[in-house]
Amino acid sequence: MTHEDWDSVFPDVPQSFHGAVEQALRECAPPQTERRFSMRRKALFIAAAAVAALCVTAAAAYVFQWNEAMARRFGAGPAQQELLSSAGAVGTPEQSVTENGLTISALQTLGDQNGVYLLLSVQAPDGTALTDASGFEMLNVKFEGSDDISWSGGFMSGPSQSASLSGADNERYFELRLYNSQQADWNGKTITLDFANLQADRGKQDMYTVTEGQWSLAWPLTYTDAMQSISSGETYQVNGHAVTVDSVQLSPLSLALSLSGDGLEALIENSDLNEAGSLCTVSLTMEDGTVLDELYGPGTEGYTDGLYGRTTSFDQIVDTDRATALTLTFFWENGDNTITIPLN
């Protein structure tokens, strides 16, 4: 795994603070022939040290402060929040737009080179309830220079006490997932979200508009590129079919996998991959023997020109430092249908 440079974690202390501390220290410095401090000078020295400590504490709190809803969504404890924040995986857009009494705000992002999760909030006019079934008539996601972005999303499901900022009926979190299956460089590029017409459901997806309007948000997207890359090149047998593991990429947020081999086409034909299904399931074995076999987060997979590619964005943060093996199960095959790939 990539070890991050902690020297760049904390923000620069303002020059005014440096000046105040230096002035306090100058006042505290005793003459060459005197080694005793007066009570006043001791107090100044202690005050300067206390201010310095408070500044460092405030900087640390700023760096590691996650949105509570995003931390809950990914099951991220304090140590995981600290790790991902210092690695640059978390972004805080602080963008907001209001029209016709409806406000959309971009709160926080979490991502790596395989995809990015966006947490937003929507506050509708008083008297307009937002539910799991609410939606927008149009939502367009684009990056500068590219409009072809694969994404999914909608209002956060669950009780209003956890799916909204305050528990009010007219407020609700909105989630988006962006899938970077081509691993394009999105870092620092401006993302634009265009919304139109808030809608409600009469039932059975009979949508109607409750608040007309157009809302647009834009900001430079940031995420981390740090991933653990394993170039295997090992060939395995799956029910008599040869499959080569070209590469595996793993981060606390996602998995990317590339397969090839003479027997891969037969496995594809035996599956329902071409009917928007899946070729195999994935699971991770941890160093204590625990098997994480519910890695079924959203992602993409496909087979082109003899190569199978798959990306999976995890629904929960994964401690990849403790992962020892990746297992693929080709569930369409009757026997000898697993591959176990060492990760260390």
**pLDDT tens per residue, range 229-239:** 877 789 999 99
CATH fold of 228-342: Immunoglobulin-like (2.60.40)
**pLDDT tens per residue, range 266-285:** 999 999 898 878 899 999 99
* pLDDT for the residue numbered 296: 62
3 state DSSP class of 68 = helix
CATH architecture of 69-76+88-220: Sandwich (2.60)
* pLDDT for the residue numbered 5: 38
**pLDDT tens per residue, range 158-208:** 887 889 888 899 999 999 999 987 888 999 999 999 999 999 999 888 999
Q: How would you list the strands of the sheet with 323-329, edge to edge?
A: 291-292, 281-286, 323-329, 338-342
Q: Evaluate if pTM is beyond 0.85.
A: no
**pLDDT tens per residue, range 147-168:** 778 899 999 998 878 898 888 9
Q: How far is CA 282 from the centre of its chain?
A: 20
Delimit the domains of the chain by residue range. Answer: 6-63, 69-76+88-220, 228-342
Core vs surface per residue 126-143: b (16+ CB within 10 A) or e: eebebeeebbbeebebeb
